[in-house]
Structure 1
Amino acid sequence: MAQTADIFSNIGKKKGDGNGGNENAGNRNAVHSQTLVSLLSQFGLTAIGFLSTIYFTRVVNPAIVGVYFLFFSYSALFYLFSESGIGESSVKLISEGKARNEYYTASMALRAVYLILCVAGLLISAVIFPTSTIMETGIFWWIIAALFIDYFYNSRIYAAYADGKINAFQVSLFLNTAVRSLFQIGIVYLGYHSFGLMGGFLVGMIFAAIFAHRYNQLKLVKFSKENFKRILTYAVLIFLVMSCYLIYQNIDVVFIGRYMTETDAGIYRIVYQFSMLAGLAATSVKAVLYPKFSAWNETKQYENITEGLRSGTSLSLMLAIPIFFSFLILGYDFISLFYGEAYIPGVPALFLLSFIQIITVFMYLQSICLNAISHPKYAFLSIAAGITANVILNIVLIPVYGMEGAALATVIAMLLNSALAYLLLRKVIPIRYNWISILKMVIASLLMCVFLLGFKYVLPITNVIYLLTAFVVGGLLYGLIMLKADRAIHDEVAEMVTSFGVKWPKWL
């Protein structure tokens, strides 16, 4: 039988060395622990954000919540320009291991230039447009403060990330969300709704920056024009890719709002965000593998990159595939019990959107691999082709099929994007996926669906407790089947857990 999923077991191994040597074994252990921390962090971030949002929508006046989300959206937009891909480019160049301090300093200088330009643009716009939404809602100075704090926040966490301290990077992200939510809940509870929401946004970044700074070993030194130019070149290309991702995440909503109603756009956005639960593992794996791909590319360890891509894809699909199938059975229950009957029209779109998360695993990891191995142009070309197709298909399909048409347009666009990224990446490195293990994931997910259907027949899902019980038990059943059906996955999951000093049960 063909070789099944190895996850991360072969990374760093040398031919003729069954153990891979102490150094390589340590390298694999680091990848295991970093992946687990990253995954737990992503789940924690999602849970905290989900629960805090429910609290605010029930306690705070909708107008104040609307102003906060307006502040949040504008801040994200201005971050895109003040950041402009500098963080990702600094990770790429610093992780290569050459002129690390010089590239770090050059990235800080470039950030400062962009920050000054962004703030200057905001100040000029305030004078020219004194009655703009930003000015009338009172969020102008909050945005200015957020930009300055973000300068230190992003420079700290990306310094840790580029230096290989991925656990510190993930914990910093978690701290940002956790401190923000706790501050917001506490201050809102005291009755200071607007200050609590906006202030928490800033306080979370401050605490996370302080934490990440403790792990920063990079120094500010004199850098050359070449260092600055290379950072800028990569930043521009990665900025284009980041901008495309932003368009991908919002273009459907824009067209639904244009061809349908604002209510339809809101429903679609809610189910889209919910579908992203299936993509959490891909986000976690990306955080671990991106700097390692870059370092391996610099030392020409292309086999490690191939193995890492294959293993990371398998690990990401282990979550994406069963969640897609579980949403087919429990989608209506999740949406009606979590968000209310008004959002049920979005459930058919949820089915397609959760399938998109499976395709996104391939697109996402292939794209970050192209960036890491010094081919960001290929990543941009593939995602630009996907966006072009998405825009055309949205115009054609939404007027006919509504929200389902928007989701179908994205499915087709993502398939095109993934196929192009695959073809372009294959020109640079060999690509090998574990199709046998992926097939086992599908079979295990189908068996899980049989259980979920039986659960719903015996015990109709009428409340959140029954829903979560079915979802969790079904997930455990899927996991148990996979551990028994695929020995390589069993060994890798066991090694990942034991890397934290936790004893693996013998019966598994």
Structure 2
Amino acid sequence: MDLARSTLKISAAKVGSLLLTFVGTAFFAQELGAKVLGIFFLFQAALGISALPANLGTRIAVEKRMSEGGPADQILGTGIVLKSALLVFLTGVILLFQSHLNRYIGAEVAGLLILAIFFQEFAGLMMNVLQGELRVGEAATLRFVYSVVLVTLGALLVVHGYGVFGLIYSVILGKVIQLLWAIYKTSVGIGRPTITQAHSLIDYAKYSIIPEVDGQVHSWMDVLIIGFLLTQADVGAYEVAWRVAGPVLLLTSAIGTTIFPQISSWSADDTIEPLERLLPKIIVPSVIFVFPALFGGLLLSEEILGLVFGEEFTAAWLALIILLAGKLPRAIRQIAGKSLLGLDRPDLVTHAAIVDIIANLLLNLVLIWQFGIVGAALGTVLSMTLGTIHRTYYLSQFVKIRIPYNELGWCLLSSVAMYGILYMAKSTVEVNSISYLFVFVFTGAALYGVFILLYQPLRVEVVEQARAVIR
């Protein structure tokens, strides 16, 4: 598998998805307001958290065993049986507590949630199959397709008065299309389930459950607690800030998705040296956008939220800055975690994830109660930092991690220079319209890019990666 080319495909798909999602969220925020949008975000949070008992590590286990060269059809058939059993159980639980769930979210959505979980899980399983075949670029394309359906259909339904239900219908249809397309794309048939493969999948999945919980906890725990302790409008404002900060780790996510099956393949061959050579090359790309995003947030967080989404969303300006700062430990955490999973050490990721989960729950409960949505951002970032430290330590026990301090320092220095120039410009030009805001953002990006290319090691790396993608 060509890592550079696969990373480019994933990045392109994610850029498209994020641009669509950003524009869509801005439109939905202006049309629906923070409270109604908060109801939709709580539905998405329930969908995300429900994926835990509906999955229990089976999807990543299928990808892992397939990437090792096992009998793909039997692995898939066994994975489908395991997932079906989990979905039947979860459906019963949701039906049992549907009145409480509807009251918490703020709309009658329990039945729609069951449909969304069903299609989400099987679509996700088939995309893991594609990744297990080392076809990660094609799986990324399917995620882009989902974003297209969600935003375009959602916009149409919102305009025609369907409100929050229009967005929920769009989620479900997007997952249906994703599933059908993934089935068409994959070359793996559904084989006869076997006890041997079930034991193999469960053996890997049992260590992947906690890291999986950890990922969903960091994505949705703060939102769920805000929903309990604060208001749906607070949910809407905070989640918009979270989504504004999300694109910062676009390249990091693409790199993490790409390297997992490759590291898994190296691990199966008992080869560590390629990973030691790879890590220093992916650390800088993983965090290169974090520094300018943080300094840009320090300068323009209120303008971004107010002008793009609406004045009621500016309540989350400080939370946005904190979340942007938290992208640095999150980037390192993602690369270290994927590396450990690829090395077939999900047990160590599990140990680190337990720290994450406990810290996230306790810190969010206390800090949200004390400081509102700012406390949510603080709790999430602090717990994530603890998990990053643990993952990095465990990875260092297997491979020598060389940190490119000079390159990282130059990235930081370039961000400070960019901030200084934009700060002086803002002192004379008021950012009071979206057009002025875009000028500032694009100017900052251009300045940062120029400063980065002034440093020869980074310039050489950019050229080498560009050649690797083109050839």
TM-score normalised to structure 2 length:
0.89
Distance 1:194 1:447, change over 3 A: closer
Identify which of 69, 81, 85 aligns with 1:113.
85
Q: Are 1:155 and 2:125 counterparts?
A: yes
| Residue 186 (structure 1) aligned with residue 150 (structure 2) | no
Equivalence map 1:38-437=2 (5 Å):
38-59=10-31, 68-125=40-97, 133=103, 137-193=107-163, 196-253=166-223, 266-394=236-364, 403-437=373-407
Report SS of the residue matched to 2:439.
Answer: helix
Query: What SS does the aligned partner of 1:81 have?
Result: helix
Shift of 1:135: 12
Distance 1:470 1:302, change over 3 A: same
Name whichever of 387-396 and 220-229 sits farther off.
Answer: 387-396
Q: C-alpha distance in 2, partners of 1:344/1:125?
A: 35
Quote the Cα distance in structure 2 between the aligned partners of 1:245 and 1:94: 22
Q: Which runs of 5+ in 1 are unaligned?
A: 1-26, 503-508
Q: Distance in 2 between matches of 1:133 and 1:260?
A: 15
Using the TM superposition, name which of 85-94 and 172-181 deviates more: 85-94
Q: Call closer, same or farther: CA 1:175–1:338 in 2, change over 3 Å.
A: same
2:430 to 460, 484, 506: 460
Distance in structure 2 (CA, Å) of the matches to 1:353 and 1:222: 46
From 434, 443, 449, give the equivalent of 1:473.
Answer: 443
Q: Structure 1 pair 124/221, CA: closer, same or farther in 2 (3 Å)? A: same
Distance of aligned partners of 1:265 and 1:62 in 2 relative to their CA distance in 1, 3 Å threshold: closer
**2:462 corresponds to 1:493:** yes
Secondary structure in 2 aligned to 1:214?
A: helix
What is the identity, as a one-letter code, of the residue corresponding to 2:303? D
> Deviation digits for residues 62-99 of structure 1, max 9, x if unmatched?
88756644543333333332222221121122111233
* One-letter code aligned to 2:449: G
Cα distance between partner residues in 2 of 1:191 and 1:356: 37
- Residue 295 of structure 1: CA displacement? 1.2
Point out the more displaced range, 58-67 or 476-485: 58-67
Q: Distance in 1 between matches of 2:90 and 2:76?
A: 21
Give the aligned partner of residue 16 of structure 1: none
Whichever residue aligns with residue 115 of structure 1, its letter is: L
Q: Is the 8 A contact 1:440 1:482 kept in 2?
A: yes
CA distance in 1, matches of 2:27, 2:374: 30
Q: Identity over aligned residues, as a percent?
A: 20
Distance 2:278 2:206 in 1: 26
Secondary structure of the residue aligned to 2:289 is helix
CA positional deviation for 1:137: 4.1
Name the SS of the counterpart of 2:173 in structure 1. helix
Q: CA deviation at 1:325?
A: 1.7
- Structure ID, larger Rg: 1
Structure 1, residues 469-498: CA drift from partner, whole Å, max 9, x if none?
1111211221222123133x3344334445
RMSD, aligned CA? 3.1
Number of residues of Structure 1 aligned to a counterpart in Structure 2: 471
- Distance in 1, matches of 2:106 and 2:319, equals 36
Amino acid at match of 2:333: M
Rounded to whole Å, the distance in 1 between the matches of 2:231 and 2:104 is 24
Contact residue 348 and residue 394 of structure 2 kept, 8 A:
yes
**8 Å CA contact 1:134, 1:140 repeated in 2:** no
Match for 2:416: what amino acid?
L
Q: What secondary structure, in the 3-state scheme, does the structure 1 residue paired with 2:427 have?
A: helix
Distance in 1 separating the partners of 2:71 and 2:165 = 43
The alpha carbon displacement at 1:151 in A equals 4.3
Gaps of 5+ in 2: none
The answer for the alignment partner of 1:439 in structure 2 is: 409
Deviation at 1:255, TM superposition (A): 5.6
Distance 1:256 1:124, change over 3 A: closer
Amino acid at match of 1:50: F
Contact kept, 8 Å, 2:57 with 2:206, in 1: the verdict is yes
> In 2 relative to 1, CA 113–250 (structure 1 residues): closer, same or farther, beyond 3 Å?
closer
1:357-413, Cα deviation, whole Å (9 max, x unpaired): 011111121112112211112112112223333444456655665554544444433
In terms of mean alpha carbon deviation, does 170-179 or 372-381 score higher? 372-381
Cα drift, residue 451 of structure 1 = 2.1
Mapped to 2, the partners of 1:134 and 1:396 lie a distance apart of 20
Q: Distance in 2 between matches of 1:264 and 1:351?
A: 16
Which AA in structure 2 matches 1:87? Answer: R
Contact 1:363 1:418 in 2 (8 A): yes
